[in-house]
């Protein structure tokens, strides 16, 4: 099953994708995670995109499409995958359709107020990238990742100004993808606002009906 997870920043795409991918045994491909890894390793790509990402703007389509195209050449995608955070523009969606055929798009809905609460309280493992929240998705030990024992940090683009910009960028460039995929007949809405377990269950029910 080849799936796209769509939705505003903080809708829970990464949290839900990591659980569904574990259950389905398919890779979770997050462009945000790939870019953050490149920044951490200070690769050529990482140096190019660091400032763009920290401000909440989008990385240019050409760079992003090339990254995803290369990732989809990996043999682990044979049984399918979840694309989390890609595509994010109509141009990226058009490019994707030239090298992959998507079975379904899950669009997570959530209010702007919830986005702000979720991003302001998000914590990320510096080592493995696992996501937490200070109120809703707490680690067993404060500040420490349950999975690898790494230190939990705040993402630079979760600063208030960057969150504001990311929401504006979402409405301008990414929200139009809802109609784009609805017109193709493959869009499925899932309410992203309940607790994690309920959203996972609704998403699994939606996927099993596809
Ligand atoms: P990316 O990492 O993709 O950021 P995003 O889309 O803004 O998404 P987030 O990771 O912020 O949120 P999410 O929906 O995954 O929510 P999460 O599960 O973490 O991209 C970062 C940057 O990279 C972009 O701004 C851009 O610069 C660049 N980039 C990436 N892809 C690109 C592309 N295709 N083109 C161009 N540039 C690109 O959850 C958020 C918080 O809420 C967490 O704390 C979590 O624990 C908590 N939470 C989650 N679900 C629930 C729930 N149901 N109830 C309560 N709390 C919850």
Q: How far is CA 46 from the centre of its chain?
A: 18
Known catalytic residue at 138: no
- Supply the residue whose CA is at minimum distance from atom 56 of ligand 1: 136
Over residues 116-136, mean pLDDT: 93
Q: Which of 88, 140, 164, 201 is catalytic?
A: 88
Buried b (16+ CB within 10 A) or exposed e, 5-42: bbbbbbbbbbbbbbbbbeebebbbbbbbbbbbebbeee
Place of tokens 């994010």: 88
- Supply the residue whose CA is at minimum distance from atom 54 of ligand 1: 195
145 in a labelled binding site? yes
Which CATH superfamily groups domain 2-112+159-208? P-loop containing nucleotide triphosphate hydrolases (3.40.50.300)
Distance 151 CA to ligand 1 centre (A): 19
Nearest CA among 104, 133, 83, 111 for reference residue 192: 111
13 in a labelled binding site? yes
Extents of the domains making up the chain: 2-112+159-208
Q: Locate 77 and state its tokens.
A: 């995608």
Q: What is the DSSP letter of 189?
A: E
| CA distance linking residue 207 with residue 105, whole number of Å | 10
Known catalytic residue at 155: yes
Q: What is the DSSP letter of 28?
A: E
Buried b (16+ CB within 10 A) or exposed e, 71-110: bbeeeeeeeebbbbbbbbbeebbebbeeeeebebbbbbeb
36 lines ligand 1 (CB under 6 A): no
190 lines ligand 1 (CB under 6 A): no
Q: Which of 48, 69, 71, 155 is catalytic?
A: 155
Confidence of residue 102 (pLDDT cuts 50, 70, 90): very high
Under 8 Å between Cβ of 162 and 55: yes
pLDDT, tens only, 10-48: 999 999 999 999 999 999 999 999 999 999 999 999 999
Confidence of residue 141 (pLDDT cuts 50, 70, 90): very high
* Overall size of the chain counted in residues: 210
| CA distance linking residue 173 with residue 37, whole number of Å | 24
């Amino acid at each position: 099953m080849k799936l796209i997870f769509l939705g505003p920043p903080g809708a829970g795409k990464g949290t839900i994708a990591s659980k569904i991918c574990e259950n389905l045994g398919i890779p979770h491909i997050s462009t945000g995670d790939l870019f953050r890894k490149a920044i951490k390793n200070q690769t050529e790509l990482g140096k190019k995109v660091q400032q763009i990402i920290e401000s909440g703007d989008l990385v240019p389509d050409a760079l992003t499409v090339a990254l995803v195209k290369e990732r989809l050449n990996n043999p682990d995608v044979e049984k399918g995958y979840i694309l989390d955070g890609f595509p994010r523009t109509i141009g990226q969606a058009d490019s994707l359709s030239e090298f992959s055929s998507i079975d379904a798009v899950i669009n997570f809905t959530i209010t702007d107020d919830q986005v702000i609460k979720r991003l302001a309280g998000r914590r990320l493992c510096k080592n493995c990238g696992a996501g937490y929240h200070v109120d809703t998705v707490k680690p067993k030990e404060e500040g420490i990742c349950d999975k690898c024992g790494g230190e939990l940090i705040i993402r630079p683009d979760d600063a208030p100004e960057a969150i504001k910009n990311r929401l504006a960028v979402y409405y301008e460039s990414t929200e139009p993808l809802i109609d784009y995929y609805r017109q193709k007949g493959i869009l499925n809405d899932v309410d992203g606002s309940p607790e994690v377990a309920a959203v996972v269950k609704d998403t699994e029910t939606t996927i099993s009906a596809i």
